[in-house]
Structure 1
Amino acid sequence: MSSIVLNGSHYNLGCKSCSLYELFERLEYHSKQCVVELNGELLHKDSFSSATINEHDEVEILHFMGGG
């Protein structure tokens, strides 16, 4: 089983690698409301479909929240 660092904590992927969208599905996140940093690089939303998460990667996901 592969492990990554997700938002500062260890997370078990359950497979060798997965796409960023697969990770969003597992976490029940909506990609339209997120900004993602993969191994220190900010990802453009256009690259979400092609981004692959591999063992030992570091992923930071920031959510936008409305309020008032």
Structure 2
Amino acid sequence: MVTVNGKYLDVAGQNLAAFLEESGYKPVRIVVEINEEIIPRETYADITFNDGDCVEVVSFMGGGAL
């Protein structure tokens, strides 16, 4: 099991890039952290989830002061 944004998912062995695509994330608008380490976007296709990983996917939101 892998913890993704606080939820336990059975995605151990899955590729990070494939997971993000299947989950509807747009890589240009997110940052991924695995086990408290920020993952460079250009390496997403090289990363495979391991059992016990803790993953945070953070999306950027636009906005500003009025």
Q: TM range, normalised to the smaller chain? A: 0.7 to 0.9
2:47 to 18, 38, 51: 51
Structure 1: 5+ residue stretches without partners: none
The ranges of structure 1 where at least 4 consecutive aligned residues each deviate by more than 2 angstroms after the TM superposition are none
- More strand by proportion, 1 or 2? 1
Q: What TM-score do the two structures reach when normalised by structure 1?
A: 0.80
Match of 1:66 in 2: 62
Unpaired runs of 5+ residues, structure 2, are: none
Aligned length: 64
How far, CA to CA, are the matches of 1:67 and 1:12 in structure 2? 34
1:20 partnered with 2:16: yes
Alpha-carbon RMSD: 1.4
Aligned to 2:4: 6
Q: Deviations over 1:8-30 (max 9, x none)?
A: 221222xx511111110221111
* Structure (1 or 2) with the larger CA radius of gyration: 2
CA drift at 1:67: 2.3
Identity among equivalent positions (%) equals: 31
